[in-house]
Chain A
Amino acid sequence: MTDFDNEYDDLDGHTIDELSDYLDRGRTPLDPSIEGSAGCRIALNSLERLRQISKSLVEVDAAAEAPRNDDWLGGILESIGREARAGRDIPLLPPSPRATLSVTEGAVRGLIRAAGDRAGGLIIGRCRLDGDVTVPGTPITVSIDASVFWGERIGETVDRAREAIYSALLKHTELTIASIDITVHDVYFAQVSDDQPDEPGDGSVSNEGDVL
């Protein structure tokens, strides 16, 4: 027991560090000698308040940050943009037997995002092409993560996006699409406020694609 612990009125033989460890354990198992001490309960309240304030310090600092000039971020984005995520090469039918032609997996993902977003009512997240895209004729399953806007009929919206993505893939690639599975993980309110993130939807709605 140090002078400091004495300063903290009467902790009934406990120390602040012990109390902090006790909080770290989520006050379990319940310690009657701590919970039964008025001095300890006061100190626990102070510790909890200190933690809450500490946790929010950086967020408060961040809110007071002076806005950065865009050149700084622009420079970073430019340097990362050069490291594009090409992924696998997906062959296209060559114009002549001596030529080869391919499109990158990254470009196909971009195509999927554009087609899905443009279909309206949802926003496309991560997408995955399962199957060996480098071998023509291999059945490919497209798995897509998406959020649907509040008020949209999920089923209709997903069907519309799936059709749009399928048409785009048919038009611009020679992939053999086995299915397009769109999983809706969240529902969005149209006006999203900046400071409050959305509440996640009531579980994810999985809408498995029909075999096309």
Chain B
Amino acid sequence: MSAAPYRFSLEDADDRILAGRAADGDTRAFEVLARRYGPLLRAYARRILGSNNEVDDVVQETLITAWRDLPSLNDGSVVKSWLMRIASHKSIDRIRARKNHVDVDDVDAAQPDRLSPHAVSEATSLHEAVSQALATLPLDQQRCWVLREVGEHSYDEIAEQMGIPASTVRGLLSRARRNLMTEMEAWR
């Protein structure tokens, strides 16, 4: 038997192969997954948390949980959205723990429900305008928007995770939508 040249590295392997190997205990495969999706998980956690604080902790907890639970992930090809789901849960857990310890959510309360007009007129692209507009929304609106539009969670899932009624989620998303659309119109 003559072996073909070994010209493949794990970095090039698809998610399904890597998730399968990591589930079987291959820490190198897990490392490749962690490097591939680490920046995405950080960016996602940052958008949900609304700040840079605790991003490292959330991603670390996400990876540790992922390693532990990978054997139960039957379809390795969905590992990216699976990781994002863990990260959103870890982020919301942090936020809820924070709220249990601090009575006043001063950051949220200080922000206006409606943005001042032309807050994003400096943006150089529509994409940047939306990004900036989102960052200036009240945190609860940002979170719901990101969980809905990026994480593709249902209203009920968001409600359950955040520990608020689904009707409140609906209201927050409605306000976020209006604010963002107003900014989009203003930017043009």
Contact = CB atoms under 8 A, between A and B. Distances in A.
Interface of A: 4, 7-8, 16-17, 20, 46-47, 49-51, 53-63, 65, 68, 72-73, 76-77, 79-81, 83-87, 106, 109-110, 113, 117-121, 123-127, 145-147, 149, 152, 157, 160, 163-164, 185-186, 188, 190, 192, 197-198
Given A54-B149, A117-B6, A125 B38 contact: no
A4 B42 CA distance: 34
Interface of B: 1, 3-8, 10, 12-21, 23-27, 30-31, 34-35, 38-40, 42-44, 46-47, 56, 60, 63-64, 67-68, 71, 76, 126-127, 130-131, 134, 145-146, 149-150, 174, 177-178, 180-182, 184-185
27 contacts: A46-B184, A49-B126, A50-B177, A57-B127, A57-B131, A57-B150, A58-B44, A60-B131, A62-B39, A62-B42, A65-B43, A76-B60, A77-B27, A80-B64, A81-B27, A83-B67, A85-B25, A117-B8, A118-B6, A119-B1, A120-B5, A123-B10, A125-B17, A126-B21, A126-B76, A163-B1, A198-B14
Contacts of B127: 53, 56-57, 60
A50 B180 contact: yes
Given A62-B42, A119-B3, A51 B149 contact: yes
A59 B41 CA distance: 10
A186 B131 CA distance: 36
B14 A197 contact: yes
Q: Is the interface of B mostly helix, strand, loop or mixed?
A: helix
Contacts of B43: 58-59, 61-62, 65
Given A50-B180, A119-B1, A147-B16, 9 more contacts: A46-B184, A47-B181, A58-B146, A63-B39, A65-B43, A85-B23, A86-B25, A123-B8, A123-B13
Contact of B182 (A4, A51, A58, A65): A4
A125 B4 contact: no
Contacts of A120: 3-6
A54 B182 CA distance: 15
Given A4-B178, A7-B182, A53 B64 contact: no
B25 A110 contact: yes
B181 A16 contact: yes
Contacts of A77: 27, 30-31, 34
